[in-house]
Every structure is written in structure tokens, then in C-alpha cells.
Structure 1
Amino acid sequence: MKPFQPTLFEGSKRLVYDEAVDLTLQSMQAYGPTHDHWGLAWSGGKDSSATLTLIVHLIDVGRLAPPKSLTVFYADTRQELPPLAIAAASMMEQLAARGIACEVVRAPLDKRFLVYMLGRGVPPPNNRTFRWCTRQIKVDPMADAIEARLDALDGNVLMITGVREGESAIRDERIRMSCGKDGAECGQGWYQEVLPQSKGVRGRIATLAPLLHWRVCNVWDWLRIYAPMPEYGGWATAAIADAYGGDEANEINARTGCIGCPLASQDLGLETVLKSAVWSYLAPLRGLKLIYRELREDDSKRLKKTGLEEDGTLSSGKNKQRKGPLTFAARLDALERILAIQGACNASARELGRPEIDILNPEEEARIRELIAAGTWPNGWDGDEPTADTPMDSIFRDGSVQPLLVW
């Protein structure tokens, strides 16, 4: 006799009778038919993957009328946790088998995270004053892809997202401030008539978050128990839940992000993955966070403005002696260390018969070396500035100068 296991559907085999799924269905039925085309923004994480697979399932079983077209936009940052990237690749094959278009959205080569940082010399992002990564490698490419798709279509588009309450305090406050906007009713998802960050699309595009009301336990049950079952689509989603903590996911409620994310104090997503024996061979990836921290904090690896113009007068601007880009030596050193980390992971993967990783491919490596060889610096920097550890007089924002103390 099988032990009792609480389920998402609480004794009902037909998922439409479950309250959470029923509310999602009502949300889609309320707004879906008023839009000719649907798009789905998919990050490969738990919420957007649950949204994607559930919507496709509801269409497959005839519970939800399909639109004229459905396009899935997969945000490939090139920095995702390997289990999520591998699961996404499998799911894209399943989507293709169903005839569902899936567009892989990446930043242009020169704006990808490692190319931009090591090729152009821009230091790693931080949470205080220089958070450039999210918009550049995820938000802007997605907005551009959606606008390009919209230009190719007649009629309006409904963008479906995996936004849920409870994932972020800032996000929840934004949802509460706009609750009921554009005629949305409570319980019918967070509906907005204009896609944030897009331009020139007003009146033709709207967003809907049909899983807004789901609890995290609903998401785990769907990804780990139901979605992988043949009758619910046979989706390759179990590995997604495992990446968030497997059996302990409900307790730790882990969130994932980029590998070695410079914005996070701890790499909880990676550490959660490494607790699983099947992914422990990825342990060298821990070294990425150390590399990024050194590039940001080690003054010998970065240039610095002197605070003076060529003629000796004070420079304009508030931060006259700001730290800036990475030196060529620092970039090349980081490049070799990252390649070594990737190589170590893949050597173990081949020995164990496990999937290899791809965080820096030959095209990206070649472009980084090309940009360094061309003497590329960020705008406003010439490369002849001193390194940030060079002793010099301190020049403050008000123009006052504190001479260098000589002992």
C-alpha cells in the first residue's frame, strides 16, 4: 500500500477541479480570448516553467481554447544554473514536438555577461550603484524579441508571465499598488494592458500572471509530481524542483539566480544544487563568485580617475576619483580561471557520464580576446589612467584636496 502523500489536487484526479488550477483557468478564460496571439515569457525557473507547462496542458486536454498563435520566449542569460538550463533544453524539444514555437532570447554577443565584463572591461555589477546585468542580459533582449514578434503579427498579444505573490517584497508591493488595473478582478491574475519596458506597443499588448495566487507548495507539487506524468504532458520538470532543494524545497524555499551572482551575498542556488550527489561534480563553479569579488574589490585590477584634467585643472563631476574598468591583465587572468573552472566541471562530467556545462563558449572566448587585443575600454576611459591602488592626493566632490601624506 502506497503511503499517503498530500497532493495539489487533494483527491481529485481531474486537475481542473483543484482550486488553484481552477482560478488559473478562469484567469486565462477571462483574458485569453480577447487577444489573438499569446506569448509566454519563460526564464526556466520554477514559476515560469509551471506556468508554461500548465497552460500547454490545459490546451492539450481541451480545457482552454488555443489562440491563433502561441510563442514561447526563453530568456537564455548564459549564466543559469546547469540543472535549469538542461531542463529547459529538454522542454524546448517537447515544445517543438507539439509544434509550439520557442524563441531563444539572448543578449547580443558584446553585451553578454562575460563578454561585456572581460572584453569591454566593465567591472562586475553591485547592488548599490552599478546593477547593469539584469536589464542588459535579460530584460532588454526579451523586450526587443517581443517587439520584433509583435511587428510580424496582426492583432493584439497577451504576454503570459510566471509572476507570483510572495516571491519578492518589492514585487508584491508593485502588485498591490496596481491591483485591479485595467479592469482586472481579484482572483483573475495580475493583468496590465502595456508590457513594462517596451516601446511603441501601447494598445496591442498586455500581460497576465495567471499563477499569481499559487502558493509555492502548489508549484512544487505541479513540477515534481504532476507535470512529469504522461497524462499531464510528461514534462521534464522534476529537475527544476530538485535545483531548488528537492524534498527540502518547501522548507528552504530557495530562489535561484545566475551562477556566482555578484549581487547575492551567498550563492544559495548553487549550494542547493551541489547538495545533490548527481550534481556535486559542479563544485568548481564555487570559484566564480570569488573571481567576481576580486575583480570588483581588488584595486590593483581596476583603473581610477585622478580627478584632474590633462591641463591640471579639476575634472567635472561629483565622483572625481571614481574607480573604473578592469585592467587587461585582470581580464585575461579571469578569463583563464573561468575556462579552467568550466574545464574541470566538464572533465568530471565526462568521467561520470553527466551533462557538461557551457557558460563560456568558443565564440564568446574569441570575442573577449579580440576586444582585449583591440584595446577596448568603456566609454570615458582611455586606459592610461592609473590603477586604483596607486597612491595619490585625494580630491573630494566639493573640489577640496587632501594631499597625500608622506611619512
Structure 2
Amino acid sequence: MSVQTSIFDGGQRLQMTESIELTIQSLNAYGPDHKHWGVAWSGGKDSSAALTLLAYLLDTGRVKRPETLTVFYADTRMELPPLAIAAAQMMDELRDRGIDVRVVRAPLDKRFFVYILGRGVPPPNNNTLRWCTRQIKVDPMEEALRARVGELDGSILMITGVRQGESAIRDRRIEMSCGKDGAECGQGWYQQVLPNARGLRGRIATLAPILHWRVCHVWEWLKHWAPAAEFGDWSTRPIADAYGGDEAEEINARTGCTGCPLAQEEKALDTVLHNPRWSHLAPLKGLKPLYRELREPHHRIRKAGLERLKSGEIAKNPQRMGPLTFEARLMGLERVLQLQAECNAAARALGRPEIDMLDREEERRIRELIKAGTWPDGWDGDEPRADTVLPVVYQNGAVQPLLFGE
């Protein structure tokens, strides 16, 4: 009995032209079912490859153009500067082609630095306070999609840059649902329902047309094919450079936010700094130490005893540490502005692009929130500083008094 193989079976590796052909088949198989298309674009290697390839295929007629095409750029305000700068150039190139590009950002008060330094929420961590990805990326994108769907009749097909192999956890999810909604192996990961999109069920489908691409094909496309006039003259080479240039594939390069507080090592920024063109960004290495410092007890307040929630229940973690003091927020603000100023002074001296990870609007809003005495929900600012020695209070209400009084 013969066994049908798929492109994921580990047999002969796909060549670049074969990968592109499978992408064309994927788009032509599912694209005609939707009048409206969108592209979820992060500015990273995979979504940039998917976006520029799609534009090339539409321009050359190898894929039929939908009635509308909207590109949603997820601007977290925390992307590595080379990626943010490349994205700005690519947005100009997309608009020159008549493509509707929408920059998606979190509301001002929920942006990364405003939320920390203005509202006082501590930097995110991997344990109990991982708020950043959803707040500055997922929720804004979901809201932008909801607004776009409200403008359209019918459904919208969202093109993503998801690839098999990019994340082991994500791959297991793909593996379990690669045949969902009748999708065939080799035709991309197609789903008629966008997961976790509140109020959008039935209005959005997703397709990952480069699901089968090897990472070497992504680098090849970004570094050599896409920048060529024949394939669109795209500004994608700096994206590959941001991941490590010619060594990106060998080091299995990934990127994240600048100075990501969730990462144990500063691999992404270190990779950028190895490139002499971006060496002036070295002051940004000061962000992670700042985040660690802001988590320290002397920069925060804490609950003095048992905490009763709005539901009436007793909180599980009595005397938990909470938001940043106003003094800590101002210290953090001045530190971030100083790091940014150092980068930009070096950039001006070298004739390189400046950065604005914290712009004037955000700085002004941070100072407004501090002046207004803003605290996160559930805190009023009268709580003791977190390094204050207090009697220990347990969840059952028992109190262990201090052994020694002042």
C-alpha cells in the first residue's frame, strides 16, 4: 500500500521556486472565497517575507487581486530600531503601490512606557505580570480588525507569516489543526475562524501561505530576491541584517522588543549591535538593568495586610508588592530619555537615523499622569513602601508580629 507523503515528512527539501509555487497554490485555493484581504504585519522576517511576496504575486498577476487589500502594521513602539526603520521605508513603498496601510498602536495610556512610568504598573515578568504582548500588540490588532470588518461587507481573509518550525509550542497547535476547515497539506494553514477574536466569529479567516517555507528561504527572499527590481525593489535587506545578516540562519536568530524585560539574555539587541551600522544604539543596553531596578521593593508600594477584591473575596497573596512610586517613575522617565538622547547624539554625529522609542506626546502624558497622582486600579497610594518592615499577614488572617519593635 502506498503512503501519501507531505512536504513536512522530512524527505527531499523544497527549493525556493517550489516554495513560492506552493504559496501561489495556497493563495489561489483560498483567496477567491474572500473579496477582502488583510495582512497582519509585525515588521519581522516572516511577516515581511509573506507581505512582500504577496505584493509581488499580485503585481505580476500570478495571484488574483482581491477587491480590497489592507495591511495592518503592529507598531508596539518597542521594536528593534532597524526593524522599525525598515518598516517605515516599506510602508512608503506599499503606499506608492496604492496599498492601504494602517499603523496599529495601543491607546496612548496603554503604551509600554506610558503604562509603566505614567500609570505605575511594574515592568512585565514571566510569572504573574506578563501584560505586555496582549496590551501593546494583540489587543490593538484585534481592535483594528474589528473596525475594518465593520467597514466591509462579507468576510476578510487575513494573511499571516506563520511558519512551521518557528516555535515549538505554536507548531504543536498547527500540527493539531493543519487540516481544519478542509485545508490540504501544502496549501497553508487555513482557518475560517480567527482564534480568540471577540465579536469577529465568522467574519475573519486566516491563511499562512508560507507555512512550509524553510528559514533559509526567508533569508534568501529578504536579502536577495525582494530587493531586486524584478521582485519589487523592497527595502527588506535591513531586516535580515537586524537578525544577524549572513549569520542569521546559523544562529537561529529571533528578535523581540528592544531590551525585552521577559528575556533572560539580550540576544536580539546584541545581534543588532554587532553590526557597525547600529553600534551607536549601545546605550539601549541600559534598559534591562532599569527594568530590574524598577522591580525592587524600595521603588514600589505594597498592601499592608489582607486585601479584599471587588468580588468580595480575599486576595490570595496578602501584602503583595504593587505599583511604582512617583519618585521611581520620574527616575525611570529621566533614564529612558537619557538613553534615547545618547543614541540620537551618536546617530546625528554619524549621519544615521534617530530613534523615538519614547516621543514627546508620550513623555508629556507620563508627566500628566504623575502630576494627577494616578495609581493602577485597586491602589490609592497610601499603602506603605514595599521595603517597609511589617508584621506578616497570612491568607487566613493570622498575623505574625514583629519580633523586635522599633
Same fold by TM-score greater than 0.5: yes
Cα distance in 2 for residues equivalent to 1:337 and 1:107: 23
Aligned match of 1:5: none
Counterparts of 1:3-402 in structure 2 under 5 Å? 18-296=17-295, 298-308=296-306, 316-402=314-400
CA-to-aligned-CA distance 1:206-234 (integer Å, 9 cap, x gap): 00111111111110000001100000000
Cα distance in 2 for residues equivalent to 1:134 and 1:90: 24
1:55 counterpart SS class:
helix
Say if 1:205 and 1:337 are closer, same or farther in 2 by CA, change over 3 A: same
Cα distance in 2 for residues equivalent to 1:261 and 1:234: 32
Cα distance in 1 for residues equivalent to 2:263 and 2:183: 35
Say if 1:309 and 1:257 are closer, same or farther in 2 by CA, change over 3 A: closer
C-alpha contact 2:163 2:208 (8 A) present in aligned 1: yes
Aligned match of 2:6: none
Cα distance in 2 for residues equivalent to 1:62 and 1:245: 33
Cα distance in 2 for residues equivalent to 1:63 and 1:382: 60
Say if 1:349 and 1:9 are closer, same or farther in 2 by CA, change over 3 A: farther
C-alpha contact 1:40 1:72 (8 A) present in aligned 2: yes
C-alpha contact 1:121 1:325 (8 A) present in aligned 2: yes
Say if 1:232 and 1:309 are closer, same or farther in 2 by CA, change over 3 A: closer
CA-to-aligned-CA distance 1:132-163 (integer Å, 9 cap, x gap): 01001000000100110111011211000011
C-alpha contact 1:143 1:197 (8 A) present in aligned 2: no
Which stretches in structure 1 are left out of the alignment for 5+ residues? 1-7
Q: CA deviation at 1:320?
A: 1.0
CA-to-aligned-CA distance 1:326-368 (integer Å, 9 cap, x gap): 0000000000000000000000000000000010000000000
Q: CA deviation at 1:254?
A: 1.3
**Post-superposition, which runs of at least 4 consecutive aligned residues in structure 1 deviate over 3 A?**
none
Cα distance in 2 for residues equivalent to 1:196 and 1:276: 38
Cα distance in 2 for residues equivalent to 1:379 and 1:210: 42
Q: CA deviation at 1:101?
A: 0.4
2:65 alignment partner AA: P
TM superposition score normalised by structure 1 = 0.93
Cα distance in 1 for residues equivalent to 2:330 and 2:77: 20
1:387 alignment partner AA: R
C-alpha contact 2:307 2:318 (8 A) present in aligned 1: no
Q: CA deviation at 1:90?
A: 0.3
Q: Is structure 2 residue 384 aligned with structure 1 residue 406?
A: no
Identity of aligned residues (%): 68
Q: CA deviation at 1:394?
A: 1.2
Q: CA deviation at 1:271?
A: 0.4
Cα distance in 2 for residues equivalent to 1:138 and 1:292: 20
1:396 alignment partner AA: Y
Cα distance in 1 for residues equivalent to 2:96 and 2:198: 33
